[in-house]
Amino acid sequence: MSTVFKIKKAAQIKVGFVFECQDQGPDELVYTYIAKELCKHFEISQENISPLGNKHAVINDSALDVETMFANKCDYVFIMWDRMPKWKHGTGKCDDDKATLTKNLTVAGVNITKVIMCCIDEMLESWLIADGRGVTNYFQGLNHNNPKFDDHKTKAEQTSPKDRLSDYNGRYNEYKDNLGIMKGLGGDYSRAVKWNTSFGDFVEAVNRICPQAV
């Protein structure tokens, strides 16, 4: 007699995001796209996305937004910011930013265990240029005469990434180009994860909390 095993469908979980960009800015568009691509069980609604406009607000003034997301029944909240450029009173060090943010959230009574802090080194565009395929595929789609964009595997090669993109293409606009560059990777983030560990931390966190079917 054969045994039939039923596979239970994984439950949806609600996830919120806090960003330092403006509404519908590159950080919001890129990271929510990747999160939903990696985890089909994420429910990400606009009411649970807070683009605060600058890093100072993310570090010092995000507690109310996070509390509101948990009141909206979010299971986890990601707080995303770039290490550089540093904010007015910051040191430009991720550990210092996280310590200040943790203190502010704790004072406000936020459940830190459900908050995932992601400080990207040095900025979003740093991991975007790590794997040159995304840049090459996107810009060659706009102009087939564009040369291949090399991989940028080291931290030193990933500094000033916006300038590197401008030098390569002659023009670059993060609002117009970042989502296309990311999509140019075709969903394969393995090299970017390998060559930019801070982006790897984000991907690891998404995979860790993503519900699995049993």
| CA dihedral (39, 41, 45, 49) positive or negative | negative
95 burial (CB, 10 Å; 0-12 / 13-18 / 19+) is exposed
Peptide bond into 161 cis (omega under 30): no
Q: What is the C-alpha separation between 45 and 28, in angstroms, rounded? A: 12
Q: What pLDDT, on a 0 to 100 scale, did the predictor assign at position 11?
A: 87
Token duo for residue 110: 């936020």
Structural tokens at position 11 = 């439950």
Cα four-point dihedral sign 164, 92, 179, 158: positive
Q: What ranges do the domains of the chain cover?
A: 10-121+196-214, 124-185
Element (DSSP H or E) covering residue 104: helix 94-107
CB 118 within 8 A of CB 203: no
Answer CATH for 10-121+196-214 from 3.30.2320, 3.40.50, 1.10.357, 2.60.40: 3.40.50
Report yes or no: 138 and 184 within 8 Å, Cβ to Cβ. Answer: yes
Q: What is the pLDDT along the chain (214 residues), one digit of tens a residue?
A: 555 545 456 789 999 999 999 999 999 999 999 999 999 999 999 999 999 999 999 999 999 999 999 999 999 999 999 999 987 788 999 999 999 999 999 999 999 999 999 999 999 999 999 999 999 999 999 999 999 999 999 999 999 999 999 999 999 999 999 999 999 999 999 999 999 999 999 999 999 999 986 5
Cα–Cα distance, 210 to 87 (Å, whole number) = 32
Residue reference for tokens 């550990």: 95
Q: Is 75 exposed, middle or buried (0-12, 13-18, 19+ CB in 10 A)?
A: middle
